[in-house]
Amino acid sequence: MGLNIWYISKYIAPAYAAKVGARGFLLLREFSKLGHNSVLITSDSNHLADPPEFEGSCFHECVENVDIYWLRTKKYKGARSFARMVSWLDFEFRLWRLPKKNLPNPDVLIVSSLSLLTILSGLWLRRRYGCRLVFEVRDIWPMLLVEAGNISPFNPLIIFLGWIERVGYKRADLIVGTMPNLEEHVLNVTGLRRPVVCIPQGVDDALLSDPEPLDEGYVEAFIPRDKFVVCHAGSIGADNALETLLSCARSMQDRSNVHFLIVGDGYLKAELQRQAADLSNVTFAPRVPKAAVQSVLALVDVVYFAVHKSPILRFGQSLNKVIDYMLSGKPVVASYTGFPSMINEAGCGSYVPAEDVEALRAEIVRLADMPLRERERVGRLGREWILKNRRFEALARDYLGYF
C-alpha cells in the first residue's frame, strides 16, 4: 500500500511554472509513479516561478499525478525585501487555514526550506496526524544571511531564525540536505548526531530530449566559431563571482585563441559589461530559454562556474548549473573552495581555488592546449556520471528508503 506524502514549501513549483528547476515536484512525480499519493502545498508568491492566476484563497490542480494546492499569499517585489518576510508569515497562516478534510492524511510530511517558519507548521501537523516529519534543507539559513548577506549574527532576526533552525534539527524525524556535508553543520548547531542524509539536485528527463535550436543570428552575433570558448551560462549577480572570470580574461589577452562567453541576465550585467568594455576577448550574450541552454553549451569548449570564498561552502553545494554543465558533455572548471562533489566524483573537470585568477588562467591554458579528443573524453565522463547517478527516479527511490 502506498504512502500519503505531503511536501510543503513556499518556493516549490511544478515544472511548467518553475524558472530555475523543479526538484521537489519532480521527486513527487516519481513518488507517484512508484505507487504513492503525492501532495504539494505551495505559494503563488514566488520570485522563482510563474504560478497560475486564480481567484480565491486556494487553487487545486493535478499535474502528472501530483495534487498541487496553490495558496494565495502576500506578493513582494524584491527577494531581499521586508515584504518577502511578511509573505512567509502569510504562507503559514494560509497553510493553517487550508481546509484539509479532502486531503489524504499524511504518512510522511516533508517540510522544505525556505522559509524556515514552515518547520513550525510541520511540527504542528505531525502532532495532528501522527506522521513522520522530514526537515529538508536546500539553503542553510540563517548562516547564508550572515555569510553572504553581511548581516550581524546578533541581529534579532538571525537569532530568531537560528532558534527555529535548531528546533527543526532537533525535533524532525529525518533531516535531508541537498548539500553533501550538511551533517557537519547540524552537529555544529545542535551538538547532536542527528539522522542526516543527502538527496541532491537531479536531472530532469525533459532536458534529455533534443534541445531547442538557437536562432542563427544569435550564434553569429555572440558565439565565436574559431576560438577556444570558455562559457558561463546563468544568472549574473553577486553570487556568481564573475569578477574572477573577467580578471582572468584581462590577464589572457595575449592568448588570442581563447574567448570568454557570458550568457544570461541579472542585476550586475550592466556593471560587468562596463568593466569589460575594453576587452575584445569577452562577449556578453542574452539569456536563452532553459530548453535552449544545451544548444549554447554544445558550441563552446569549456563550461565555468564560480563562487566567492565562504565558510558555508564547507558543507558542499548542489547547483542546477552543474547538472546542466555535466549534461553538456564539456569539461567543467569551477572557481570553488569548499566541500567537493559531482565534478571530482565524475572526473569531468577541475576545481581551482575561489577568486584565484592565476590558478584559473593556468587551468584554462592547460585545457586549451589539451588535444580535442582528450577534452571530449573528460566531458563525456560528466554526462555519463550524471545520467547514472542523478536521475530523479533513482533519487526518489533513495528518498523513500529513508521513510
Query: What domains appear along the chain, each with residue ranges and CATH number?
Result: 4-199 (3.40.50.2000), 206-389 (3.40.50.2000)
pLDDT of residue 319: 82
Q: Is the model's pTM score more than 0.95?
A: no
The pLDDT assigned to 80 comes to: 67
Q: Give CA–CA dist 214/211, Å, rounded.
A: 9
Reduced 3-state DSSP string for 181-244: CHHHHHHHHHCCCCCEEECCCCECHHHHCCCCCCCHHHHHHHCCCCCEEEEEECCCCHHHCHHH
Asked whether 47 and 10 are in contact (CB, 8 A), the reply is no
Give pLDDT, residue 365.
Answer: 97
User: CA-to-CA distance for 204 and 21, rounded, in angstroms?
Assistant: 8
What is the Cα–Cα distance from 363 to 376, expressed in whole angstroms? 16
Q: Which three cell numbers stand for residue 120?
A: 513550525
Q: At 126, is the secondary structure helix, strand, or coil? A: helix
Query: Are the beta carbons of 281 and 259 closer than 8 angstroms?
Result: yes
Short-list 248, 321, 322, 237, CA closest to 282: 248
Mean pLDDT, consecutive 10-residue stretches, the chain (403 aa), reads: 94 88 93 97 89 91 96 83 85 94 95 94 97 96 87 93 97 96 96 94 86 92 94 91 96 95 94 95 94 95 94 89 94 96 95 97 97 97 96 96 92
Which helix (H) or strand (E) segment holds residue 261: the answer is: strand 258-263
Contacts of 208 (CB under 8 A, 6+ apart): 327, 387
CA 44, CA 58: separation in Å to the nearest integer? 9
For residue 85, what pLDDT is reported?
83
